[in-house]
Amino acid sequence: MDFYTSPHNHTKNPGSAVSPTASATTSTREPKLQLPSTTDPPGPSNPPKPLVWLIFGATGHMGRSLVKTALSRNDLVSAVGRTFETSPAAMSKLEQEHPNKCLGLLCDVRARPTVQRVIDATIARFGRIDIIANCSGYGVIGACEDQDEYDIRDQFETNFTGTLNMIQLSLPHFRERGAGRYLIFSSTSGALGVPGLGPYCASKYAVEGLMESMLYEVDQFNIKTTLVEPGHMRRDDVGDLVGGVEESIFGGGGGYGAEEEQDSANNLALGSPLPLYGHFLVKPPSEPYNTPTSPAAHAKRMLMWLGDKQPASAVKAAHLVWQLGHCSYPPLRLILGTYAVESIRDRLKCIIEEIEDWKYLSFPTGEQQGQQQGQGKDKGPASVSGGREGDEMDVK
């Protein structure tokens, strides 16, 4: 199949699963999104070669979509589920449905030995690793004051330390090969603070700083990295992916209700009394924050809104991330969805405006100070008494 033409030219598989929210005219939708030409995306001028993916968090809604997308395009995939929510039998069944193309593994990203075993097993099976994608994540919804030490540590160990474990243990392999790529899923929470998600945002900010710093360190080894920053993603759209994986392995059909039911069962198995939404635990608010309009309840209100709106498609995001793995010049950040683009752009705009408002309170160097004092003498007393330049001289 030619993946670079409009889906108008193809007939939809009548046996494929369709989201309850998907249109009846799915097969005649607009052409698939594609990365800009500056990235040299896969296409007729850059035919994709089979690559080996190591995907952490492969049992989450984003990870599932990415696994299915890569397999449907003849890539090789090592799909890593979380040890506390996925059975070895389920991952083995995934291998059986995709013989010689998929390896199903389990891992706790917080534990370095399990990460090392996953990397070693992937290399032993496929001979190499081309791309490491981290779709795993964990968060607690609640006011900063209400989250205890365990909540905070667990979020950082999963989101930040887990990512660091993957990088430190796989970099020797990438350096030896002289090539490699990291696709790390961050979120808008890594670019702006969200009330009710303080420690989670802090862990994502840490991941952003880690990856941006590492980018400069490993570029000399031809190792690339991209932070994928999706907005709010819907969980039940599997309309145009190859059927067979999610229905049998990942939660029975991909429906929203089925996955929520499985999440609740997993949560009870862990002995946690807290409600679970995806990879977020919801903590009951303490008395000071237990009001309908409390800012600390913003994240919870957003989840309630998501259950109805579900604005962005994990399937479309997976298509773009697959292209990201095969393009020649990946960006540092790939922001997905209108909500993510607008939110991050507004945040950066606010930062720039704040810098401009307060830049006159800076502390100049000796040379700059002498120049500014000379400029003040040339302008005379009138200019000193009014305007921002006068304010700056008063601060000195």
pLDDT in tens, 149-189: 999 999 999 999 999 999 999 999 999 999 999 999 987 77
3-state secondary structure of 302: helix
Give the per-residue pLDDT at 293: 78
**DSSP summary character for residue 159:** I
Closest CA to 282 of 258, 306, 248, 309: 306
Confidence of residue 73 (pLDDT cuts 50, 70, 90): very high
Give the per-residue pLDDT at 360: 85
Chain centre distance of CA 170: 19
pLDDT at 55 over 70: yes
**Residue 44 or residue 310, greater confidence:** 44
Question: 7-12+27-353: which CATH topology?
Answer: Rossmann fold (3.40.50)
Spatial separation of the C-alpha atoms in residues 80 and 135, rounded to whole Å: 10
What does pLDDT average to over the chain?
76
pLDDT at 376 over 90: no
3-state secondary structure of 101: coil
Spatial separation of the C-alpha atoms in residues 395 and 39, rounded to whole Å: 48
Give the per-residue pLDDT at 45: 86
Q: How much is the average pLDDT of 195-204? A: 91
Type of residue at 193: G
- Gyration radius from the chain CA atoms: 24
pLDDT at 207 over 70: yes
Report how far apart, in Å, the C-alpha atoms of 273 and of each of 172, 240, 255, 266 are.
41, 37, 24, 11
Residue range(s) of every CATH 3.40.50.720 domain in the chain: 7-12+27-353
pLDDT in tens, 253-286: 333 233 333 443 444 334 444 555 557 788 888 8
- Cβ atoms 53, 27 nearer than 8 A: no
pLDDT in tens, 277-335: 557 788 888 888 888 778 777 777 666 665 555 566 788 889 999 999 999 999 999 88
Q: Which class for 368: exposed (0-12), middle (13-18), buried (19 or more C-beta within 10 A)? A: exposed
Give the per-residue pLDDT at 311: 62
Closest CA to 247 of 90, 107, 106: 90
3-state secondary structure of 243: coil
Half-sphere exposure of 16 (CA within 13 A, CB side): 18
Q: Which of 17-31, 83-97, 329-343 has the lowest mean pLDDT?
A: 17-31
pLDDT in tens, 209-243: 999 999 999 999 999 999 998 876 665 433 332 33
Tokens, residue 92: 């083995």
3-state secondary structure of 367: helix
Give the per-residue pLDDT at 113: 96
